[in-house]
Amino acid sequence: MKYRSFGNTGIQVSALGFGCMRLPTLGKYEEINEPEAISMIRKAVDAGVNYVDTAYGYHGGNSERVVGKALADGYRDKVYLATKLPVWLCNKPEDFDRLLNEQLERLHTDHIDFYLLHSLNKDSWHKVEPMGVIPWAEGALADGRIRHLGFSFHDDLATFKSIVDYYDKWSFCQIQYNYLNETVQAGTEGLHYAAKRGMAVVVMEPLLGGRLANPPQQVQELWRTAAHKRTPVNWALQWLWNQPEVSLCLSGMSTMGQVEQNLTYADESGVGTLQAGELELVSSVRDRYNELCPVPCTACQYCMPCPNGVDIPGNFAIFNDGSMYNELEQSRNRYARMQADKRASECIACRECESKCPQHIPISEWMPFVQAVLAENETYTCIPADLARV
């Protein structure tokens, strides 16, 4: 196993971290296959993985409980344990202590090595910051219940920077990052911004929820041109590990085969191990993905806020994912779960957004099409000529 510096903490962590959001189940997400999950976690730890990440809500609250069992029999002493405060459940300051103490009990431990404020965005940060979450966390650091404080993040770059700058004692952060997401959320700029401040940066979604593991045929053909053959999963991970600012990559592994495969990939990892031609190939793959993307939205947010409340980039992201990966039913389910007043159906074609769009997307014409495909199950085999990319 290869190890990397975890920011300015002085700690060395394994290049691969075990993410416990996608443990094997018995059919339902909440029903973890406990013997298999425990075997997988211990297999990884025995091979040198020393960072295990879970959260209060994973697997309906059962992930922490199973991780606690997996780390019995001396395994707790072999790893750094990370879990997260569910900020959306914090409605009063007393909730901070209540939830942390419940997590310690679930995990059968007296301390959390790396504690994160979970999934911060503008709204959740502005909710818990005035409640005193930072002074409370400093108290938990002082009494030893947590050893290092950080946050995981899902919002735009400006919000990420503002949270980083708010508190000068963050030890680490966790961001969504992969070769398709260099300009999404915190992105590459956010990665470097945090690293320059001495923070460790944990990468989640290195495979974009598994999508990069099973690329479209056109992308697969590009990977096959490489002189050094790798699986799409290995390419995605090595691209991340190639960057010195990446402290570790979390993988949400669901099978023992995935554990064994990722352990092999981690053994190959290193900063600066990809050659110039290989980095160019990754760029070509990124370009090909973008060519396959029906709506050329880069999620730059220039079109936002919509005066009628439509989440324009969010609608396009759901539509693009379904189209690129031939997973329209999954996208329709995601759209159905989207807050109703943010859906494409709420577009009134005011066109205020279109003058702001750097990609010159005819947004008001796309929105009815997105609604028809995702909500009305309209057959979709090609982009209408008046919407096609020029």
340 vs 310: CA distance, rounded Å: 9
Can you say how many angstroms the Cα of residue 1 is from the centroid of all Cα atoms in its chain?
A: 23
Separation CA 186–CA 159 (nearest Å): 9
If you ran DSSP here, which 8-state letter would residue 275 be given? -
| Interval 103-152: pLDDT, tens | 999 999 999 999 999 999 999 999 999 999 999 999 999 999 999 999 99
- Global pTM value: 0.83
Dump strand ranges (E) for the chain: 3-5, 12-14, 16-19, 51-53, 80-85, 112-120, 146-153, 172-176, 200-204, 248-252
CB 115 within 8 A of CB 82: yes
Q: CA–CA separation, 109 vs 68, rounded Å? A: 8
Residue 114, classed as helix, strand or coil, is strand
Query: What is the structure's pLDDT at 38?
Result: 98
Give the DSSP letter of residue 330: H
Q: Please state whether beta strands 248-252 and 16-19 pair in parallel, antiparallel, or not at all (unpaired).
A: parallel
Overall fold of domain 3-282: TIM Barrel (3.20.20)
Collapsing DSSP states into helix, strand and coil, what is residue 174? strand
Amino acid at 385: A
d(CA 206, CA 174): 12
Cα gap 320→375, rounded to integer Å = 15
- Determine the angle formed by the axes of helices 312-324 and 363-374, rounding to 10 degrees: 60
- Crossing angle of helices 312-324/328-337, nearest 10°? 160
Q: Write the DSSP assignment of 19-66 as a string of letters.
A: E-SS--BSSSTT-B-HHHHHHHHHHHHHTT--EEE--TTGGGGHHHHH
Least Cα distance to 294 among 264, 315, 309 occurs for 315
CA triple 175-293-281, angle to 5 deg: 70
Residues 6+ apart with CB under 8 A from 243: 191, 271
Phi, then psi, of 59 in degrees rounded to 5: 50, 45
- Using alpha carbons, select from 110, 155, 112 the residue that is nearest to residue 137: 112
Q: Which pLDDT score is estimated for 390? A: 37
Contact 249, 206 (CB under 8 A): yes
The ranges assigned to domains in the chain are 3-282, 293-390
Q: What is the pLDDT of residues 285-323, one digit of tens each?
A: 999 988 888 887 867 777 999 999 999 999 999 998 888
Q: How many beta carbons lie within 10 A of that of residue 383, not counting itself?
A: 14
- Token readout for 106 is 């679930």
Classified as helix, coil or strand, 164 is helix
Phi/psi at 258 (5° precision): -65, -40
Stretches where the chain sits below pLDDT 70 are 298, 385, 388-390
| Diameter of the chain measured on Cα atoms | 64
Interstrand relation of 200-204 and 172-176 (parallel, antiparallel or unpaired)? parallel
Question: 């759209």: which residue's tokens?
Answer: 335
Tokens of 213: 């593991």
List the end-to-end C-alpha distance of the chain, in Å, as a whole number: 48
User: Cβ contacts of residue 138 below 8 Å, gap of 6+?
Assistant: 149, 169
